[in-house]
Amino acid sequence: MFSLLEISANTFVDDITSFFSFAKNAFLDFSIFDAIDILLLTVLFSFAIKFFKSRKAGALIIGIGICLAIFIFATLFGLSSIRYILSGIFQIGALAIVIIFQPEIRDLLEKMGSGSIRGIRLFGDFSAKNRSQYKIVDNICKAVHVLSVEKTGALIAIERTTKLDDILETGTVINADVNESLIRNLFYNKAPLHDGAIVIDEGRILAAACILPLPKRTQVDTNLGTRHRAAVGLSEISDAIIIIVSEETGVISIAKECELIRNFTPDSLRKYLYAELVEGHDVEKDPD
Amino acid sequence: MNRRILGIRIGTVLSVVGCLAAAVLFWLFVKYSEFDSAQAITLMTAAFRG
């Protein structure tokens, strides 16, 4: 039995040596097309990681990784029965993943066809995406205007590049399209979710009643309450834009990058948000 | 830049480097498989011809 193990180990070492020798020759013959191939693979792997991470499918990936490791082990050491079973599982597994993630794959393909994916511009109808971004900002502004007139306190965090997953976990998942009525409803002072902040990302209200951290470094005017402090606190740890409506005065403020900008009018708020949130917005022109 | 954003940026860079390393290994593995298959075919053909 030990001689069998020795033979297997020797074969394994020979295979590894052969692989490294091949790798050395492969890099000596490296061409521009190989570089493009590797670059595209990097992008693909990066997307795959983001995709599975956003779907909280980490456990699934670890499970697949373990099966793959066992498969490689079985191949190297000639465990043909295990290899046979795992081959069968992998053949079905690829199809199973497509079935499980069918809505997400459809969503991804639609995004690729109709606009840009975050950070990468692809072929598509940019004007349609921009129109939807303007519409989202308009909905937020209309809601904020009404809340300000009614002096209903509100805290709206708009996520940008810094993920707010830990903030979302403190709240209640909503996952609905941004809508003026829904925002007003959430901050209605007798509603159970009116306390705390709502978090918006990519045109969706992700969660409500989220607890925002208080500021650690920035000095906030002592006349301002916890709502404004919490907004500044979040702006310390992320690049989010946080809209605050004061419950006492109805004043609209924005917290961004440790700074609190006060006394927005509905128009100035709209222009500010267009400039900050709408891709390619020209401050000289009005939207369609 | 605050510590959290810096941490996120470092995490992003490490993630990209990791993906690049995985891409290089995968590319090598595929090349090796092609090379191995080609060698196997050559050996089998040579054996068949005697």
pLDDT at A255 over 70: yes
pLDDT for position A121: 46
Which chain A residues have a beta carbon less than 8 Å from that of B27? Answer: 34, 37-38, 41
pLDDT at A16 over 60: yes
Whether B15 and chain A come into contact, CB under 8 Å, resolves to yes
Candidate from A121-125, A224-228, A255-259 with smallest mean pLDDT:
A121-125
Whether B14 and chain A come into contact, CB under 8 Å, resolves to no
Q: What is the pTM of this model?
A: 0.57
Q: Residue B2: closest CA among chain A residues belongs to which residue?
A: A237
Whether B40 and chain A come into contact, CB under 8 Å, resolves to no
Nearest to A42 among B4, B19, B32 (CB): B19
Compute CA B11 distance to the chain's CA centroid, rounded to the nearest angstrom.
Answer: 21
> Contact A252/A140 with Cβ under 8 angstroms?
no
* pLDDT tens digits, one per residue of A108-163: 777 666 655 444 444 444 555 666 788 899 999 999 999 999 999 999 999 988 88
pLDDT at A44 over 90: no
* pLDDT tens digits, one per residue of B3-39: 666 777 787 788 888 889 989 888 888 887 777 666 6
Integer Rg of chain A from CA: 26
Q: Residue B9: closest CA among chain A residues belongs to which residue?
A: A162
Q: Which of B32, B33, B39 to mutate to test the interface with A (most CBs of A within 10 A)?
A: B32
Nearest to A41 among B2, B15, B27 (CB): B27
Identify the three-state secondary structure at position A155.
Answer: strand
**How close, in Å, is residue A209 to chain B by CA atoms?**
23
Compute the average pLDDT of residues A66-72: 87
Hey, how many other C-beta atoms are within 10 angstroms of the C-beta on A168? Answer: 17
pLDDT at A105 over 90: no
Tell me which amino acid residue A270 is. R
Nearest to B28 among A26, A39, A237 (CB): A26
Torsion of CA A219, A222, B4, A154, to 10 degrees: -140
**How close, in Å, is residue A197 to chain B by CA atoms?**
20
> Contact A251/A262 with Cβ under 8 angstroms?
yes
Tell me which amino acid residue A99 is. I
pLDDT for position A128: 57
Burial of A47 (0-12, 13-18, 19+ CB in 10 A): middle
CB contact under 8 A, B5 and A46: no
pLDDT for position A244: 95
Nearest to A45 among B19, B32, B35 (CB): B19
pLDDT for position A288: 42
Whether A249 and chain B come into contact, CB under 8 Å, resolves to no
> Contact A60/A52 with Cβ under 8 angstroms?
yes
Does the structure's ipTM exceed the value 0.90? no
Q: What is the mean pLDDT of chain A?
A: 82
Which chain A residues have a beta carbon less than 8 Å from that of B22? Answer: 41-42, 45
Which chain B residues have a beta carbon less than 8 Å from that of A49? Answer: 15, 19
CB contact under 8 A, A41 and B31: no
pLDDT for position A119: 45
pLDDT at A206 over 70: yes
Please tell me which residue, B42 or A192, carries the higher pLDDT value.
A192
pLDDT for position B15: 84
pLDDT for position A123: 43
> Which range is most confident: A38-47, A223-232, A263-272, B10-19?
A263-272
Compute CA A115 distance to the chain's CA centroid, rounded to the nearest angstrom.
Answer: 17
DSSP code for A262? E
Which chain A residues have a beta carbon less than 8 Å from that of B2? Answer: 236-237
> Contact A162/A238 with Cβ under 8 angstroms?
yes
